[in-house]
Amino acid sequence: MSTDKEVEVKFRVFRFNPKTDFVPRWQEYKVKVNKSTTVLDALLKIKEEQDPTLTIRYSCRQAVCGSCGMMINDRQMLACFTRVLELNSDVIKVAPLKNYRIIKDLVTDFSELFQKEKQVKPYIIRHDVEELLNPTGTYKQTEEELLGYIQFADCIECGMCSSACPVSATDPLYLGPMILNRAYRFISDPRDLGFEQRLEAIDSEHGCWRCHFAASCSAVCPKGVDPAKAIQLLRRALVKKGVLGISSSKKVELIPMGHVKGKLELPKGWE
């Protein structure tokens, strides 16, 4: 069967252990792949058959956990979501994500990222303590309200957008697209009442004003999230609040949900 036809591909893999090595080096491996082999499969094959010292991080193997983001041929991609032969290249260059500290080889350290994320309080904030402790029902929302934030809720926190952002490249304190998208995801959720509490982090020098709309974050996102859109909508909300003086309690006016008034924007085939 043609799908099983094996081809030999050369992998140039970034090797570096900050604890022992002075400088990184590139190591080459030859791997036989077929049409369905992903970059992650190939790296695991190298690890099993040729070099057990190669370090990688993964868990779900299906673009859900966000652990396997790396630079594949100089672009942020999920190793488990990228087929080797679809790259159409004789040599596959694999390196750790840019702009994160390297732990070893292809594994980067996200602890700083998740630490920063806490600033935007990535959870639903409510004031009705009594209802939270003794729930009498569910918080209902309409399909239209859901569509206002569901795209941004699809983020798997792979950190690739923040790695691609040219602003993150020069400003280590910048919250970055992943976190700002996260903030917008909760702010635009009709159940959430925490807009004010997130302002300190978002409405700051290293918050959403730092973004220059290079849209590289959206270009690399593997889940269709469009973090650049979230950031611009966040700014829109802040401008409306600051310049037009719309109170943050009037969420409907701050957060664009065009589809609430008009037609639902469903993809083809969903009607």
Partner 1 sequence: MAIYEENREGVSGWFRLRRYSVERALYLMQRLSGIGIVIFAFVHLLYTGWHPGGWGDVILGIFVVYHTLNGLRLVLTEHGFLIGRPIRAVYPYRKGTLYGSQRYLVMVILALFVIFILIWSYVALVIQAG
Q: Specify the stretch interacting with partner 1 by CB under 8 A; choose among 31-39, 91-99, 115-123, 194-202.
A: 91-99
- Binding partner 1 (rule: CB under 8 A), the pick from 117, 159, 228, 248 is 228
Residue 80 interacting entry, from ligand SF4, ligand FES, partner 1, none, C-beta within 5 to 8 Å by type:
ligand FES
Smallest gap from Cβ 209 to ligand SF4, in A, equals 10
What does DSSP assign to residue 37?
-
- Residue 164 as a binder of partner 1 (CB under 8 A): the answer is yes
Alpha helices in 123-172 (DSSP H): 129-133, 143-147, 150-153, 160-164, 166-170
Give the shortest CB-66-to-ligand SF4 separation in angstroms.
Answer: 6
Beta bridge partners of 107: 104
Using CB under 8 A, pick the residue from 60, 169, 173, 252 that binds partner 1: 169
Tokens of 101: 């500290």
Pick 178 or 228: Cβ nearer partner 1: 228
Give the number of other CB atoms < 10 A from CB of residue 48. Answer: 10
Choices 10-18, 54-62, 202-210, 223-231; region in contact with ligand FES by CB under 6 A: 54-62
| Closest residue by Cα to residue 201 from 226, 176, 221, 218 | 176
Q: Does 96 bind ligand FES (CB under 6 A)?
A: no
Name 262's Cβ contacts closer than 8 Å, sequence gap at least 6.
none
The angle formed by the CA atoms of residues 148, 150 and 156, to the nearest 5 degrees, is: 145
Binding site for ligand FES (CB under 6 A): 58-61, 63-68, 78, 80
